[in-house]
Amino acid sequence: MNNIYTPTAENIARAAETIKQGGLVSFPTDTVYGLGANVYNAQAVANIFKAKERPLFDPLISHIADIDFLSEYAITDDRAIALAKHFWPGPLTFVLKRKDNNPAIDLACAGLNSIAVRMPNHPVALELIRQSGVPIVAPSANRFKTISPTTAQHVQDSLGDRVDMILDGGACRIGVETTIIDLTGKHIVILRAGGMAREELEAFTGEKIYLSHDNPDLPKAPGQLLKHYAPRMPMRINVEADDVKADEFFIGFGDVKGAQLNLSPSGDLCEAAANLFAFMREAETHSEYKGIAMSPIPENGLGLAINDRIRRASYKE
């Protein structure tokens, strides 16, 4: 069964009605495809966890289309509003304290007293949220711990008829999930590196942005579990070209020889981020190999997010 729809005005309206009725809709964002439900419909949110086979202690991100809505269900301050006005819509998620103890959103928040919120920079996503009339809670539209989807077909391949509708907005521009920042304390803390570089945040705020070392088994935000984004075969990272084994599919970066795929021959980290998940998906389809080897990636800019993803993808439980 193919659930992929072109995002015409009629299909977006139909998708919004599906959200209102408690269904699940996958939609494109600037980062990856999301699996969306009405944040206030606990059964619909539970169906996200069921479809993804995701543990209930892993919190979800709510998507909004209007900054003014942020203060309706999260406690905001001047810092949060200033960051929202500067960086939204974009690949940045805020973790803020919940405004009340509304039990309807307990599941989306994994029972925490905080909530994760973002505004995606994609016209289809924003229109779907506006027409739905509620925040749409949406993790990546893939089965838990597998590679995140950057096309509608990836969603179809991973979740199939577990999703009522998949809106096809083409390939995602950024290709890695959002950067998640904790705004509940005095200092801004990155809980998950992503599509917004640490350097951009520091340049705007004029202050040091810290990196989280919270317990990964008790995540405060999505994507903090040690094993995540994993392909179907073992993966080694920081592998130089001359150390690749004969039975490994080699994903290169920069000026390297012998790579089956190269994230960016020119060493462009934005290009590498956009290609990362699609190339990992391609690699795992090659059953003639027993593993995947990945070139070293610099730790600056979007390299921080790329290295975060591939470390989790290669983690051995």
Count of other CB atoms within 10 angstroms of residue 163: 24
Question: What are the domain boundaries of the chain?
Answer: 4-211, 235-314
Half-sphere exposure of 299 (CA within 13 A, CB side): 2
Per-position DSSP letters for 176-220, written without gaps between them: S--EEEE-SSSS-EEEE--SS-HHHHHHHH-SPPEE----TTS-S
H or E stretch including 26? strand 25-27
pLDDT at 73: 81
pLDDT along the chain (317 residues), means of 10: 92 98 97 96 89 79 94 91 97 92 79 90 98 96 90 95 97 92 92 92 95 60 57 92 96 96 93 86 93 94 83 79
Tally of CB atoms within 10 A around 303: 18
Q: Is the dihedral of CA 269, 221, 237, 148 positive or negative?
A: negative
Q: How far apart (Å, rounded) are the C-alpha atoms in residues 203 and 198?
A: 9
Cross-strand bridge partners of residue 38:
136
Fold agreement between 4-211 and 235-314 = no
pLDDT score for 222: 58
pLDDT recorded at residue 72: 81
Domain covering 4-211 in this structure, CATH number: 3.90.870.10
Classify strands 189-192 and 210-211 as parallel, antiparallel or unpaired: parallel
pTM of the predicted protein model: 0.79
Residues facing residue 211 across a β-bridge:
190
235-314, what's its fold? Rossmann fold (3.40.50)
Q: How distant, in Å, are the alpha carbons of 21, 23, 95, 105, 168 from that of 123? A: 22, 21, 23, 26, 12
